[in-house]
Amino acid sequence: MLEYPDPDTIRILITSDNHVGYNENDPITGDDSWKTFEEVMSIAREKNVDMVLQGGDLFHVNKPSNKSMYHVMKSLRLNCMGDKPCELELLSDPSMVFKYSEFTDVNYEDPNMNVSIPVFGISGNHDDASGDALLSPIDILQISGLVNHFGKVMESDNIEVTPLLFQKGCTKLALYGLASVRDERLFRTFKDGKVKFNVPTVRDGEWFNLMCVHQNHTGHTNTAFLPEQFLPDFFDLIVWGHEHECIPHLVHNPTKGFDVLQPGSSVATSLCEAESKEKQVFILECKSGMQPQLTGIPLKSVRRFIMRDVSLKDVTGLKPHDRESITKFLQGEVDAMIKEGIGERANLDADGLEEIIPSSMLPLIRLRIDYSAKNDQDLDYQVENARRFSNRFVGKVANTNNVIQLYKRKKQTTKKLYDQMDVDYLAKDRDGDLGVQTMVQNMLKSMNLSLLPELGLNEAVGRFVEKDEKTALKDYIDREIENEVKLLISNQQLINVDDIHDLKKLVRDVRSANTLDSSRELFQAQETAAALNITLDAPNGTINSSMHSKGAEKHRENHPKLDRRPRAARKAKSQAQRPPAFSAEIIDSDHSDPSVSSMEIDDELEDAPSRGHRDVDTLEPPVDERSSRKSSAAKKPRKTAPKSKHPKTPKTDILNSLLASKRG
């Protein structure tokens, strides 16, 4: 066990993308995620850290199973609760950060709880807020007192980031957090200067400014990432979640002057090169007047992942049509990778029989095979079916269905060299890996859908693939069927339609109107529900210069000052006040840089509302009550149709029956 840090050193354990619950129904790898998270929390206890910083995606889905929630809460309670006093002194008013919750204090200052290691976390893109109340699974942990959920974003087009200010001895820490926001939306918000950071103005230069974000670090599409130059230059360190590749050292940004740490994930959620790197957690030690010290700790419970690439045309002696020889060669390559993955357990026992390997020791194996021909006119190499070949290794590998991946290498094209800091080039011409939603969007552009809105369908597919929401597509289609049939029934033009083509055109027109109406109703309802639990302390997203004074004084009156004495002694101590409060000022994001001001957002993003598409990532601001009544009155004729009591049938049958009844 590591010794306690000295009175002036803040020791922080940094982890991110734990993805508890990933593939939990798999009989071999189902328990990997929570076992690794349990190891992470045990490291925090053994290293005697002052706090744990979690960079998002604690859960793999935003509706985790009971099993996932149970293991996370168990690990937090076993390792973070105890009589060891937390030596961090909170200087700011936590209600400015936890203003969306009824419990506006950090959990280690709650007199009803014994928290020795506080956990501060943000929500990622997998465990983000959903539902009418915009709640995430991290909110459940927050309300139970196990986690401090900070950095929550309620309006993606008007973001305000307020820090938590800590002090230990002479070391002062300002902790900022920004939850995951859709990358294109956040890109536009930064460009428009709608992201504001509240910074302490007292004792300038004494604060170690630490920022935690959960966004794409590199450009997967034109604007689907957060450029580092968008962030202000007063930060000292950025903890960058969402990217699963572990970079075990600080990367300095010479333009902005801060360092970036990409801790990576603690469990492999895809069989790619980035996931094959060694998984680690990091111990960060901050001390006033000294450079921060970063120490990486490899995780021992992570399943071994071996990945290789092979090009069949580079292997001497192989012929494209000789499938048997190709299969034998590939089987030898996989056997060598398995031996590397399980080490000494790959040896044979005294009887010459292979030892039965426990499922927890089975490695993940991925062999990428380029089967393209040597020349364009030649025959491609004939490889056995990937699934059938993978099933040969049942009992030897953890992924028995996708051991190999077949691909054909594309022709090399010359790419223009560009500067990593050239935002204009990144915004217009940068190429990257295409996500599922990007591919679906490109496909829908070439289609003229008559019944379903393209953007809404794209979002439903994204939720189904990326967040594992099994009913996302069904719920979306059922909702669109119900809404559009109501509008068609109430539409008087249907009586005068004789031609089926005119009927389809009418459906498209109704669909376009329905998209706008349902979108407004959905997000107004969400904002109204969320507003019932949220009270902003200042109008129009601004904060007075005394942000940390009035609220902080009230907070200090109700909570005892922390010291190193046992918990029972601190509870009995009379209430004490904190040092003088810190004021804060508002600074805008660096949207005024020349390289940023000239950037153009994709025309699709700017023109989407005008085309009547549903924008599911933007929550419209609360509307005035009078205008809301007028809007409701204007929409009233569309909602007079009674709800059908009959079971749902395909929309084509409903339309045909309506048309048949009219002609009859």
Q: What confidence tens digit (pLDDT) does each residue in 10-35 have? A: 999 999 999 999 999 999 999 999 99
Q: What's the CATH number where 148 sits? A: 3.60.21.10
Q: Is 549 in the same domain as 640?
A: no
What's the pLDDT score for residue 490? 73
Q: What are the tokens at 112? A: 């009803």
Q: Is 202 in the same domain as 72?
A: yes
By the 10 Å C-beta count (0-12 exposed, 13-18 middle, 19+ buried), 459 is classed as: buried
What's the pLDDT score for residue 138? 92
Cα–Cα distances (Å) from 642 to 305, 496, 515, 659, in that order, read 57, 22, 20, 19
Q: Is 121 in the same domain as 198?
A: yes
Q: Is 16 in the same domain as 161?
A: yes
Q: Is 480 in the same domain as 539?
A: no
Q: Is 183 in the same domain as 285?
A: yes
Residues marked as catalytic: 126
Number of domains composing the chain: 3
For residues 423 and 418, give the distance between their C-alpha atoms in angstroms, rounded to a whole number. 10
What's the pLDDT score for residue 460? 78
For residues 173 and 212, give the distance between their C-alpha atoms in angstroms, rounded to a whole number. 13
Containing structural domain, residue 633: 434-530+623-663
Place of tokens 């300002």: 174
C-beta of residue 59 within 8 angstroms of C-beta of residue 214: no
Q: What are the tokens at 567? A: 């918990």
Does the CA dihedral 565-571-572-575 come out positive or negative?
positive
What's the pLDDT score for residue 169? 92
Q: Is 61 in the same domain as 155?
A: yes
C-beta of residue 260 within 8 angstroms of C-beta of residue 253: yes
For residues 93 and 408, give the distance between their C-alpha atoms in angstroms, rounded to a whole number. 57
Q: Is 475 in the same domain as 381?
A: no
Q: Which of 512, 521, 481 is nearest to 628 (CA)?
A: 521
Q: Which regions in the chain score pLDDT beneath 70?
A: 1, 219-223, 344-355, 377, 411-442, 444-455, 466-468, 491-504, 506-664
609 inside domain: no
443 inside domain: yes
What's the pLDDT score for residue 458? 72
What's the pLDDT score for residue 289? 87
Q: Is 124 in the same domain as 230?
A: yes
For helices 500-531 and 651-663, angle between their N-to-C axes, nearest 10 degrees? 130
C-beta of residue 253 within 8 angstroms of C-beta of residue 211: no
Q: How far does Cα 229 stand from its chain's mean position?
A: 21
Q: Which of 635, 636, 641 is nearest to 482 (CA)?
A: 641
Q: Is 220 in the same domain as 288?
A: yes
Q: What are the tokens at 148? A: 């401090």
Q: Which of 20, 24, 31 is nearest to 303 (CA)?
A: 31
For helices 500-531 and 472-490, angle between their N-to-C axes, nearest 10 degrees? 120
Q: Is 294 in the same domain as 309?
A: no
Cα–Cα distances (Å) from 606 to 159, 188, 490, 609, 610, in that order, read 19, 9, 32, 7, 8
417 inside domain: no
194 inside domain: yes
Q: Is 57 in the same domain as 23?
A: yes
236 inside domain: yes
191 inside domain: yes
Q: What's the CATH number where 341 sits? A: 3.30.110
What's the pLDDT score for residue 197? 92
Task: Report the relative pairing of strands 584-588 and 195-200 from DSSP bridges.
Answer: antiparallel
User: Which among 407, 426, 456 is the end of a domain?
Assistant: 407
What's the pLDDT score for residue 177? 94
121 inside domain: yes
506 inside domain: yes
Number of CB atoms found within 10 A of residue 332's CB = 10
